[in-house]
């Protein structure tokens, strides 16, 4: 049995309209709910429950990793706050995904 969760495909992430299941096919209880195009916000409010976490791999430029390490050290020295890189990145992801409009603008500007 695989320990990795089954992730939704790209079609599930980018689907905006409601789709009916094919004739004779039942809607899966584990299938992600699709939002109608009338809903402006695509991501629900983020509430991270306590409990198990999933292991993922991110590839960072060495300079970005160095900045993360320096920030981690700064938090320890200036605020006596001992955090792991994972805790810092987790918080940054939560904050970034809570503000998807500005995140999208920045990504679009970077892509140009």
Query: What pLDDT is stored for residue 36 in this prediction?
Result: 42
* All residues at 6 or more sequence positions from 64 whose CB lies less than 8 Å from its CB, including other chains: none
Mean pLDDT of the chain: 75
Quote the CA–CA distance of 40 and 103 in Å, as a whole number. Answer: 16
Q: Which two tokens stand for residue 110?
A: 């970077």
Q: What is the mean pLDDT of residues 94-111?
A: 91
Q: In a 3-state reduction of DSSP, which class is residue 80?
A: coil
Quote the CA–CA distance of 25 and 1 in Å, as a whole number. Answer: 26
Enter the pTM of the model.
0.55
Query: What pLDDT is stored for residue 77 in this prediction?
Result: 95
Contact indicator for 70, 18 with CB cutoff of 8 Å = no
Q: Which two tokens stand for residue 56?
A: 């993922």
């Amino acid at each position: 049995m695989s320990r990795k969760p089954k992730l939704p495909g790209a079609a599930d992430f980018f689907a905006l309209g409601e789709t009916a299941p094919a004739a004779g096919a039942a809607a899966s209880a584990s299938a992600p709910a699709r939002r109608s195009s009338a809903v402006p916000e695509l991501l629900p409010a983020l509430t991270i429950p306590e409990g198990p976490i999933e292991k993922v791999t991110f590839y960072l430029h060495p300079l970005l990793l160095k900045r993360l390490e320096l920030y981690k050290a700064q938090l320890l020295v200036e605020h006596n706050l001992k955090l792991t890189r994972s805790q810092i990145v987790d918080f940054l992801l939560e904050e970034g995904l809570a503000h998807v409009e500005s995140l999208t603008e920045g990504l679009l500007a970077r892509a140009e």
